[in-house]
Structure 1
Amino acid sequence: MFDAPGSSSPTASPRTAASDSLDPERAAAELAEALAGPGLGFVLFFCSADYPLAALGEALERAFAPVPLAGCTTAGEITPAGYGRGCIVAIGFDRDDFAIGCARVADLEAFALPQAQRLVDGLLADCRRRAPDAEARPFVLTLLDGLSSSEEQVLSTLEAALGGIPNFGGSAGDDNRLSHTHVYAEGGFHDASAVVVMIASRRPFEVFTTHHLRPRREKLVVTAVDRERRRVLELNAAPAAEEYARLVGRPVAALDAGVFARHPLAVRIGEDHYVRSIQRVDDDGGLRFYCAVENGIVLTAMEPAPMLEELAGVLDGLGRRLGPPALILGCDCFLRRLELEALGRVEDASRLLAEARVVGFNTYGEQHQGRHINQTFTGVAIGSRG
């Protein structure tokens, strides 16, 4: 178990805990001991893909039964003590403070508005039935298979059905292997799926998103694309990897996740820029992206501002508006963490996150109000009990 001064007290809600044991039984037992209480109504967890996932799921179900669970695999964890790696972190919600409904979307490609509306109506009915009082307001967390390439369709459809309910989320990771990502619901881990969690409470809360990237003058136009696989084949009518390498002043062979993190590209929508992060260079010189890309879109070169200073300002603002938060549930892009590692500022980031009571995970993409976005810190701040 982590030695985490920022961990919750046994009577707090939500309560948080983490375990760095890779033994599923021990990890589950440590989390259950820390989160247990007569009012425990729901457990949300984020775990490294290093765990034997089937065994971990069985151990968690035994440890917490009959309390329902949901979660996903990660590209790194945010524990009560800050950034973790190769561990599991969990949040326990008491039923006296939170009414929670959870549903899995098993077929992402077939998820259309009628299914979305039935899902949302069912979650609202669950929350109303369980709500401690009539003043409870809902927000929604979505966890998606981070390699499914279905985020945009699912999120836009869900947003239409939610009818203004605040929503955010993150795409599951697999410790930067880009191989297999999983979400957890209904007693097991699943790929090609999404988990939708509706949380209702009378506590004050605020769903938010932020990034530290600023636009430069350089533009790149997508002139050839493989839309289905999110691959850009040409930029400015030149091979995509070569044109991007020219922009950032690196040889194509040197392009890696660290370069992509420090030299992102973004689409401008209105006055805002939304990052379209590059996943990798393919053998044919194309660039594979984490978000959907379209032929003809204009990508703006971005450059980073000081990340932690920007994040500290956002966290301070949340504290002023809500009071000291009981919890900030954060979905933090793994490319932000790679940038912090390159700058040698992971320990500084961990202190900031722990002091602000942030718990969550590093993602392969974030979600905010129906949009699939990259290279952001997105989440919800939940105020303390009044």
Structure 2
Amino acid sequence: MRAKAETRTVAVAGVEFGWGSSGKLSAVLSALRGAGGDRLRFIGLASGLGRSVLAEQPVERWFDLPDTRSDAELRRIVQAERVEAALVVLDGGLAKALRACGVPVVFVDSLPFLWTDGDRADLPLDVEVYCAQRCVELPREGARVLADVHHLRWVDAVIVDGGATRSTAPTPHPRRALLNLGGLRAPQLTDWAGYPRLVLPAALEALTASGITEVHVAGNLPAWLAAQLVDSCVHPATTTVGALPHEAFLRRLAECDVLLTSPGLTTLLEAGQLGTPTVCLPPQNLSQIFNGRFHSQALGIDMRVRWPEEVFDEDEALALRTHGERKALDLIHSGIARAADLGRHRTATAVRQGLVEKLKRLADVSGSDTPGSDAPGLSTPGPDWTAMTRAVGTAGAAQVADALVQLMV
């Protein structure tokens, strides 16, 4: 009788920022189940923020890492757990530290369009496999950085391929909404609550004014703060709040009539795969400016709500990134903090008005595939909500899983 194959240990980690990296980890772990994953054992490193997203995944144990990352502590974990490979999403520092411990790394970079020469030092350009997610457009600065990656592999969108599906077509009279706030706890922020205080009540009031009767508020927002902000404003009759594990989030995304979301890339790609009509909330970081623009570019209509100019100017933020992402983030975060402290009512009013206008436009374009009164028998197709996701493909999770399996052969 053949001996049972020995279980091999893989460390997984996502950048401690928002939930996008945890969503990608979840998608890859799901793909691994059908690609030899039964012989793999998974432990998690850091990623405290996203562990709830991965609750349905077979991560055997999580290890916290100190804020001042200790190579000795990481080496102890690697040796004690007999880690043979690692899957790291966006955390370049941790990827480098693991390689220094002798662990081969598959690194997933979902933001290759974001990088400039100022970011080179933070990127693990020499990992064993560097999986860059395809994007709608790759600026010259990003292309220059990726040209120096030693083992570059382009992959499709790293999302769950299959699973939840929409049961209904987009409707011109949406009633059920999903309101998602992700990416809130950027490491550089001293007070990350400014964004939800500006945006969440404004969004709920806009949904109410637009006839939405049911909304669920999801994302990495503490329940106490979400409840406080919901109670402070007019909101749809049925308003529920709570973080959702990844698969539950996808099911909710498939069931809703409209998604309002801070424009994190993973969420936009997941919504696009399902064809869920989507409105982008104002951006809260540099990548979300790109994401919102890519989304509108692919759709052919602008479904973004932007900040008033006194918060910050998007083009100025993009120009600052030539000095590295942190310079641009300083402008963005200080503008949001200033608005939350000194101009909350004015800014929230502008956001609410912008959302009401976008929701009205959504109703108009969702109903545009019916014959027009001035041209009986003719119809104008509404936007293709799958356009952005189709442009980059949906097989990325399986492609990353395959890279990890090959690395361990």
The structure number with the bigger radius of gyration is 2
- The structure carrying a bigger helix percent of its residues is 2
TM-score by length of 2: 0.24
In terms of fraction of residues, the more strand-rich structure is 1
In the superposition, the TM-score normalised over structure 1's length comes to: 0.25
